[in-house]
Amino acid sequence: MAAWGGGSVPGVNLREIGQLVRMKPVELNATRRRLARCHDVRDLRACARRLTPRPVFDYVDGGADEELSMVANREAFTRWRFTPRVLVDVSAPDTSAPLLDRVLPLPLILGPTGYTRMIHPAGEIGVARAAGRYGLPYTLSTMATTSIEDLAAAAADVDRWFQLYLLQDAGLNAELVDRAAACGYRVLVVTVDTVVAGHRSRDRRNGLVIPPELTVRSIASIASRPGYWMRMLRSPAIDFANFAAHRSMTIEQTTAFFSPAITWDDIAALRERWTGKLVIKGPLGAAGARRAVQAGADAVQLSNHGGRQLDRAAPPADLIAEVREAVGPDRCVLVDSGIRHGADIATGIALGADAAVIGRAYLYGLMAGGEPGVDKALRLLATQFRRTLQLLGITSVADLRKHGHELLTRR
């Protein structure tokens, strides 16, 4: 048996091994160390789940009723298979995309999410700043925990969009729209699928209602996440910041504010009031998209609210092609609900969309690492999208749209 001695092994050149193997530097920052171990959005989700109390994580992660729509949304993207072209020079793919009078470096928009500072104190401002570093639009929700004015001041250079829920108080609707216009928000996104609130089963089970009705299991989850609560305690109180006259308004009270009586006449009135670009969020299918265009919308956003409103609703990805045919080649079509990978963005574009909109994907990053976590989520999606284009033999987003029908087969 060969003897081990003198730090050498017979027949092995340790110097050559040393040149091939490099020890990874030890990262002392805990957040950077966590994020370095996240290689896709699934990893960010797993990290977020470990760090966040169950009621808060489920508020982001859950859907309505049996969560059938939420599951189907993912399947609608992942059932497609690519048939790539080969022997194409893809050394410098162009990932930029024109969208509503701007050219984005990536066909991606950060959508609106409510109660974002409950998820992490960085909240809407942290998300908007991350979006700005990538040159992407950020959409502030009506139900945000940062006001229209505060976000505009903190993220002045970001392409800011404002999402409006049509409320029963028409004067409040007008006030919100006028405030967004005065603060330089470029696009108004009107959500039309919330005439009543969806039944979020996980929130009910976890007791995340007002007043809280927490279970023993929920309390145990909260107690086991001291880092989360230390961040919350060091941060300003959370409220619905866009309702200055309703500081005591609760989550359940906001659902009573939604108007179940909205019609296309309300959209026409908003179109007259809002001079910027108008997106109607929530049409599912060709008929709704055509009606939105007739009402003056510059874009339609195919959405089932991420599976958080009407369960068993059709997945938006399945409707892209028919909506594109209905509205024509020049009208903007956005798609959300179920996007977790750069390949999902590519699939949406190949089917006929102009851009994808994300919510949970960046919220997992926010939970996992605050603002740097959102950066990580965007970096992952951008890298995945670019690589997908290259492996498809596609040199640009325009090329992807032009040849999309040749590149996809259905599983």
Assess contact for 86 and 376: CB atoms under 8 A: no
Find how far residue 301's CA is from the centre of its chain.
13
| CATH code for position 243 | 3.20.20.70
Q: Is 403 a catalytic residue?
A: no
Domain extent, residue 329, equals 31-410
Tally of domains within the chain: 1
Work out the widest C-alpha separation in the chain, in whole angstroms: 89
Asked whether residue 213 is assigned to any structural domain, the reply reads: yes
Q: Quick check: is 319 in a domain? A: yes
Residue 9 lies in a domain: no
What's the whole-model pTM score? 0.90
Is the bond into 121 cis (omega within 30 degrees of 0)? no
Average pLDDT, the chain: 90
Please tell me the predicted confidence (pLDDT) of residue 177: 97
DSSP 74: H
265 in a structural domain: yes
pLDDT for the residue 198: 86
Residue 395 lies in a domain: yes
What region does 274 belong to: left with phi over 0, alpha with psi -120 to 50, or beta?
beta
Q: 254-264: per-residue pLDDT in tens? A: 566 777 888 99
Residue 16 lies in a domain: no
Q: For the segment 114-153, what is each residue's pLDDT rounded down to a tens digit?
A: 999 999 999 999 999 999 999 999 999 999 999 999 999 9
Of residues 199, 305, 341, 403, which has the active-site annotation?
305
N residues, the chain:
411
In a domain, 292, yes or no: yes
10 in any annotated domain: no
